[in-house]
Chains A and B, each alone.
Chain A
Amino acid sequence: MKLSVSITVNGRAYDREIEPRLLLVHFLRDSLALTGTKIGCDTSQCGACVVLLDGVAVKSCTCLAAQADGSQVTTIEGVAPDGQLNAIQEAFWTKHGLQCGFCTPGMIFATQALLSGNSNPSPEQIRHALEGNLCRCTGYQNIVRSVQAAAAAGGR
């Protein structure tokens, strides 16, 4: 059985026939070749696959593509399509908030979700907000600094 879905990703509408069990993350990566969204686990712990679904940060491995029918999705490819980094990306660059880069797309969306509700979070609030996004390289310290810098620059 196939399902018809219409999902708008990074401003462009895609009409596709999909398997009902298809996860949103696989739809993005395999059906649309938007590989910036990463898969780091199979138990929804790591947060590497976080995207914006109708403006809300979600782990795209916990969501069926069918559930996104009619929705707007933003992936990392949609953040700076012309190469002009946004304030959050700039802050991660300036504060060395990434090393291998694998967790970074998810971190950027988790940051965006935090800053959209709290434009001036404390380090404790930042650490709490990022507990669902795992990074094995940075020890998180420079990610916290990145989020602070992004907040100071008005990023959201």
Chain B
Amino acid sequence: MATTIAKPARIFGSAIRRREDPRLLTGTAKYTADITLPGQLHAAILRSPHGHARIRKIDTSAAKAAPGVVAAFTGADTEGVLQSIPCAWLVPNSDLKVSPYPAMAKSVVRYVGDAVAVVVAESAQQAYDAVDLVDVDYEPLPVTIDPEKAVKPGAPQLHMEAPNNIAFKWTVAGGDVEAAFKNAEVVVRDRIVQQRLIPTAMETRGALAHYIPATGELTLWNTTQNPHIVRFIMSLVSGIPEDRLRVIAPEVGGGFGSKIAQIQGDFITVFCSMKLGRPVKWIESRSENYQSTTHGRDHVQDVELAATKDGRILGLRCTVWAGMGAYLSTAAPGIPTILHGLMLSGPYKIPAVKEDVYGVYTNTTPVEAYRGAGRPEATFMLERIIDRLAGEIGIDPVEVRRRNLIPPFDNGFDVITGLKYDSGNYQGALDKALGHAGYEKLREEQAAARKKGRYLGIGVSVYVEICGLGPSQVAGAVGFQGGLWESAIIRFHPSGKAQVFIGASPHGQGEETTFAQIVADELGVSVNDVKVVHGDTDITPMGWGTYGSRTTAVSGAALAMATRKIKEKAKLLTSHLLEAAVEDIDFANGKFFVRGFPDRHKTIQDIALMANVAWNMPQGMEPGLEATTFYDPPNFVFPFGAHLAVVEVDPETGHVELKRYVAVDDCGPQINPMIVEGQVHGGVVQGIGQALWEQAVYNDNGQLLTGSLADYAIPRADVLPDIEVLHTVTPSPHHPLGVKGIGEAGTIASTCTVYNAVLDALEPFKVQSILMPLTPERVWQAIAGQKGA
């Protein structure tokens, strides 16, 4: 009988439990609000109740006299101390108008929630009591909240620098779009509104600042996705030199883009500590979070598609009005332009595209990245208009997609917007989704159900996303005011245990586990012997942060390269210790050995010890076993997939029941499939939230009507089916591990998938378009409107 030797399971690709979880499960993890310093004060911020108003006078005397109050400040106090909050994505060729964004309003407030004053007291309760005593005399001004209306003549003006409220106009074009429309046999048009959303990370934003006047040093605990960017921007605004500024992102309770930007409260907290020389903490309430932390989406899109009668797409043309809110947030201008316009052709061969994007100031909370950031808005537009085309020409929407998909490629494909996709097999993902769902059978069920007066709908979408942001040279070329590389340090201790230090800043995505898996896989150590450290600018090397599905793609690549440097040094030291030629040293399963003589070996732990004690080093070799890598990717990565949803609409009530959801995603090889699946679940559900329930609503006066979790409907457990998660695996040709990103994929695909399913269900009623979210009332009204027509 042959003896079978069990091959050790590869740790890369294993669904191991997360290393970060025990502290989270036991309540021992410390988020910003959980940290208390001796002598700490609490700040409460007074926020504008008006969408637009001139400040005539502010009187803080009653607040200052209230029990426990230490100080109260207004915008005037920040003069000469705090600079304006910078915008960090200055999109070129867009006539960008960056209007001053003060940390506290000085003469005019421009949205409900704009910071007006701050009260600092011994306790949070005292601060909140006293902030109500600040007396502000406002002169209300006219308000504009809709990005399309705000550019029209006669609309109220927010900033004198930006006539007609236009912050920028940007155009992307490729191919001959005029000819495409001239030659078209079919043109379909649609107006799509990507409603404004509120990210709603479960932990609100907050900051704890401790400034020491004697040394001029500041430590800032901050709920952020990018502590190194915080340090950079905070230094620019506060004047505290970067070397004296330490930013710590402790445990961070979700971000979804809402913890990228530096917001007013962060600067105000730092300002208070600078003025008072004591630690000052500010933690948003949820209502404050909804007004003052950034929002997402807010596009009005006019889109038209030129095609042949047999469904071949000839061209796509669109105009977008993108609401920016009252000020340009950190990355805001890049979202409806670079991250949106460049992805217009999606996974399809589209020979001509043109898009004009207007970035528009409105009297609303500033808009920023929200999970997907520009790409959901592009995917929705394309996937919706393709369904409209399919309806127009009477061909199955899946077949129309098939006729236009880019064929499989594994090493680069140039698209019309100028990007080079890295690898893709869109047809493969679509086939897998359709096969798993049983598409043909679903269509039969749909037909049978309709005969019984039941309205099933099937929605499909195919997506490709740009992520792993990105090469720094490209970042510079598109106006991003920073780099987009990452760095990693691996440090082996004498006992053979390793620590990894990364500049990126995970906040729920599980990289303390997946990055330990990378090291374990490359160097043969136990995953339990690798600790991943992040989120402290005094300890970790520079990095640009966790957003844009870039941490595994870029920071993970830096780490993989660092492991290879460790391997090279370990080989050299092994060859010295074993008196063998370095060319003869092989490495497998954590052991460096002389080729052909596996017993003559040193383990990585042996090498860690010998390198740290340094008793017997080769000539010229430095002690220690440590490697640092700076990794700037040669291109973005382009994950993709195909999703399918089945819904049933009750025409009597307009209620939408989501019956099935199938997600096929391709993020390349998976380091930890359990974590990948969790990212898909969460992403898909956030996108479903946009399709069915979520919307930030302002009234005409600029009041945020959905100002709390009582009014803004994020998905709950009882309104969702299980997501059926599948994958294909297409490695990125340029990434050292072949991996792409998965954080945003679900959100990018699911909104349009569900929307298409609902509209497919309503096909018998000839409903073509309903504003999101697809609440029962809106669905019912749409059906009733068609019945009456």
Interface residues of A (CB under 8 A from B): 19, 26, 29-30, 33-43, 45-46, 48, 75-77, 79-80, 83, 85, 89, 92-94, 96, 98-105, 108, 123, 126-128, 130-131, 133-144
Assess the B26–A136 pair: CB atoms within 8 A. no
Check if B714 is an interface residue, CB within 8 A of chain A: yes
Assess the B285–A42 pair: CB atoms within 8 A. yes
Number of residue pairs across A and B with beta carbons under 8 Å?
176
Check if B717 is an interface residue, CB within 8 A of chain A: yes
Closest residue of chain A to B716 (Cβ to Cβ) is A131
Check if B681 is an interface residue, CB within 8 A of chain A: yes
> Among the listed stretches B103-111, B428-436, B507-515, B633-641, which one makes contact with chain A, having 4 or more residues with CB under 8 Å of it?
B507-515
Assess the B203–A144 pair: CB atoms within 8 A. no
Bound Cα distance from A5 to B27, whole angstroms:
25
Assess the A100–B203 pair: CB atoms within 8 A. yes
Assess the A130–B253 pair: CB atoms within 8 A. no
Assess the B27–A43 pair: CB atoms within 8 A. no
Chain A contacts for B204, CB-based, 8 A: 40
Question: Given contacts A33-B36, A99-B254, A102-B254, are A79 and B26 in contact (CB under 8 A)?
Answer: yes
Bound Cα distance from A96 to B674, whole angstroms:
7
Check if B201 is an interface residue, CB within 8 A of chain A: yes
Question: Given contacts A33-B36, A41-B708, are A85 and B685 in contact (CB under 8 A)?
Answer: no
Chain B contacts for A143, CB-based, 8 A: 717
> Among the listed stretches B16-24, B112-120, B531-539, B548-556, which one makes contact with chain A, having 4 or more residues with CB under 8 Å of it?
B16-24
Q: Which B187-214 residues have a C-beta within 8 angstroms of A?
A: 200-204
Instruction: Identify B203's interface contact among A40, A85, A138, CB under 8 A.
Output: A40
Assess the A130–B717 pair: CB atoms within 8 A. yes
The smallest C-beta distance from A102 to any residue of chain B, in angstroms, reads 3
Interface membership of chain B positions 487-521, coded 1 if the CB is closer than 8 angstroms to chain A and 0 otherwise: 00000000000000000000111100000000000
What are some 9 contacts across the A-B interface (CB < 8 A)?
A35-B27, A40-B203, A45-B708, A76-B27, A83-B22, A99-B678, A100-B508, A101-B251, A102-B202
Q: A75-B27, A141-B723 are in contact. List 9 more A-B contacts (CB 8 A).
A: A29-B34, A43-B709, A85-B26, A92-B21, A98-B21, A101-B29, A105-B27, A137-B254, A142-B677
Chain B contacts for A89, CB-based, 8 A: 25-26
Chain B contacts for A48, CB-based, 8 A: 202
Assess the B202–A136 pair: CB atoms within 8 A. yes
Chain A contacts for B509, CB-based, 8 A: 99
Chain B interface helix/strand/loop/mixed? loop
Assess the B27–A77 pair: CB atoms within 8 A. yes
What are the 9 tightest A-B residue pairs by CB atom distance, in nearest-first order?
A36-B27, A101-B24, A100-B508, A102-B253, A139-B685, A76-B27, A35-B34, A139-B681, A45-B709
Question: Given contacts A131-B717, A133-B717, A134-B709, are A38 and B203 in contact (CB under 8 A)?
Answer: yes
Instruction: Identify B720's interface contact among A29, A39, A102, A140, CB under 8 A.
Output: A140
Interface size for B (C-beta < 8 A) is 58
Closest residue of chain B to A99 (Cβ to Cβ) is B508
Check if B658 is an interface residue, CB within 8 A of chain A: no
Assess the A80–B678 pair: CB atoms within 8 A. no
Closest residue of chain B to A128 (Cβ to Cβ) is B718
Question: Given contacts A96-B674, A127-B717, are A137 and B508 in contact (CB under 8 A)?
Answer: yes
The smallest C-beta distance from A71 to any residue of chain B, in angstroms, reads 19
Chain A interface helix/strand/loop/mixed? loop
Assess the B22–A93 pair: CB atoms within 8 A. yes
Bound Cα distance from A26 to B33, whole angstroms:
12
Assess the A93–B714 pair: CB atoms within 8 A. no
Instruction: Identify A96's interface contact among B18, B23, B723, CB under 8 A.
Output: B18
Bound Cα distance from A35 to B203, whole angstroms:
13
Chain A contacts for B683, CB-based, 8 A: 139
Bound Cα distance from A143 to B685, whole angstroms:
13
Assess the A100–B720 pair: CB atoms within 8 A. no
Chain A contacts for B678, CB-based, 8 A: 96, 99, 137-138, 142
Check if B446 is an interface residue, CB within 8 A of chain A: no
Bound Cα distance from A19 to B682, whole angstroms:
40
Assess the B26–A77 pair: CB atoms within 8 A. yes
Closest residue of chain B to A123 (Cβ to Cβ) is B722
Chain B contacts for A103, CB-based, 8 A: 202
Question: Given contacts A40-B204, A41-B286, A135-B202, are A85 and B22 in contact (CB under 8 A)?
Answer: yes
Assess the B26–A42 pair: CB atoms within 8 A. no
Bound Cα distance from A128 to B720, whole angstroms:
11
Assess the A137–B682 pair: CB atoms within 8 A. yes
Bound Cα distance from A140 to B508, whole angstroms:
15
The smallest C-beta distance from A28 to any residue of chain B, in angstroms, reads 10
Closest residue of chain B to A103 (Cβ to Cβ) is B202
Closest residue of chain A to B680 (Cβ to Cβ) is A139
Closest residue of chain B to A34 (Cβ to Cβ) is B27
Assess the B34–A40 pair: CB atoms within 8 A. no
Check if B232 is an interface residue, CB within 8 A of chain A: no
Closest residue of chain A to B253 (Cβ to Cβ) is A102
Closest residue of chain A to B675 (Cβ to Cβ) is A96
Bound Cα distance from A133 to B718, whole angstroms:
10
Question: Given contacts A35-B27, A136-B202, A136-B714, are A43 and B286 in contact (CB under 8 A)?
Answer: yes
Check if B765 is an interface residue, CB within 8 A of chain A: no
Assess the B201–A136 pair: CB atoms within 8 A. yes
The smallest C-beta distance from A131 to any residue of chain B, in angstroms, reads 4
The smallest C-beta distance from A23 to any residue of chain B, in angstroms, reads 10
Chain B contacts for A105, CB-based, 8 A: 27
Bound Cα distance from A19 to B678, whole angstroms:
43
Check if B455 is an interface residue, CB within 8 A of chain A: no
Assess the B21–A100 pair: CB atoms within 8 A. no
Chain B contacts for A104, CB-based, 8 A: 24-25
Check if B256 is an interface residue, CB within 8 A of chain A: yes
Assess the B709–A99 pair: CB atoms within 8 A. no
Assess the B716–A134 pair: CB atoms within 8 A. yes
Bound Cα distance from A128 to B24, whole angstroms:
24
Check if B252 is an interface residue, CB within 8 A of chain A: yes
The smallest C-beta distance from A149 to any residue of chain B, in angstroms, reads 12
Closest residue of chain B to A86 (Cβ to Cβ) is B25
Bound Cα distance from A133 to B22, whole angstroms:
20
Chain B contacts for A142, CB-based, 8 A: 677-678, 681
The smallest C-beta distance from B625 to any residue of chain A, in angstroms, reads 31
Check if B28 is an interface residue, CB within 8 A of chain A: yes
Name the residue in A35, A77, A130, A131 with the highest tally of chain B Cβ atoms < 10 Å from its Cβ. A35
Name the residue in B26, B202, B716 with the highest tally of chain A Cβ atoms < 10 Å from its Cβ. B202
Assess the A100–B253 pair: CB atoms within 8 A. yes
Assess the A39–B26 pair: CB atoms within 8 A. no
Closest residue of chain A to B672 (Cβ to Cβ) is A96
Bound Cα distance from A19 to B126, whole angstroms:
12
